[in-house]
Structure 1
């Protein structure tokens, strides 16, 4: 079980999945919506994700996905893709104990900033895992 929330504490959540998949995404939308050079995510069944306090705001960030965030402090919390109903991606950085989940790969490296050097030996995908 993983607990987390936003920076200011207005939104709190619990992720109760036994198994998660984790990645570091380099896509331009992740970069622009967080202001960071890349974002670490973990994926789990939506049924295993529960908001315990607060109500995240939602942003339709593309034609196929919605992101949620805290309206008070701006912390991005989730990514929900229409193509994978029943799944939610959660920012690893919003976990109370982010060291508990280590990313297994890098996705959308075609959008990686030129000055970012990947030296962790994790697999790299130009797009999603499914699309290479």
Structure 2
């Protein structure tokens, strides 16, 4: 990936840029109950980046501590969920893929938290499935 990625919320009040030449460290469908509740959808698609790669270019998101270890950021106007971050470990941002201007650029590579998958929801793909946080753990993520 050589170009910057751009994205934002539904109403356009919050915009962001992901610095060019930064590869996502993980791109996944998340089936956890918190993501479902926060998004109102049966699954969320996230791409993880080093925190220094994600820059706000317009507006400011509101924040909600969805657990003692996690912070979710969303547009205070329209409610679009934009980012997920852990409050411990090295800083990184999970970016909601479908808030990118071109979400087709980051197709998910696997599913996480499939132990929580809804029994009536199934995707027709052959991607790897993990009952927990998945395979792309870096050393500082291993303790989560």
What is the TM-score when the length of structure 1 is the normalising length?
0.95
Alpha-carbon displacement from aligned partner over 1:1-56 (angstroms, at most 9, x marks no partner): 21000000000000115210200000000000010000000000000000000010
Task: Name whichever of 66-75 and 113-122 sits farther off.
Answer: 113-122
Give the secondary-structure state (helix, strand or coil) at the position aligned to 1:9.
coil
**How many pairs align?**
131
Query: Following superposition, which runs of at least 4 residues in structure 1 exceed 4 angstroms of deviation?
Result: none
Q: Distance in 1 between matches of 2:34 and 2:90?
A: 20
Tell me which of the two structures has the higher relative contact order, counting C-alpha pairs closer than 8 angstroms and 6 or more residues apart: 1
Match of 2:113 in 1: 108
User: Which residues in structure 2 correspond to 1:78-97 (within 5 Å)?
Assistant: 78-97=83-102
Q: Distance in 2 between matches of 1:79 and 1:56?
A: 11
Which blocks of at least 5 consecutive residues in structure 2 are unaligned?
Answer: none
Match of 2:6 in 1: 3
User: RMSD in angstroms over aligned alpha carbons?
Assistant: 1.2
Match of 2:23 in 1: 19
What is the TM-score when the length of structure 2 is the normalising length?
0.87
Which blocks of at least 5 consecutive residues in structure 1 are unaligned?
Answer: none
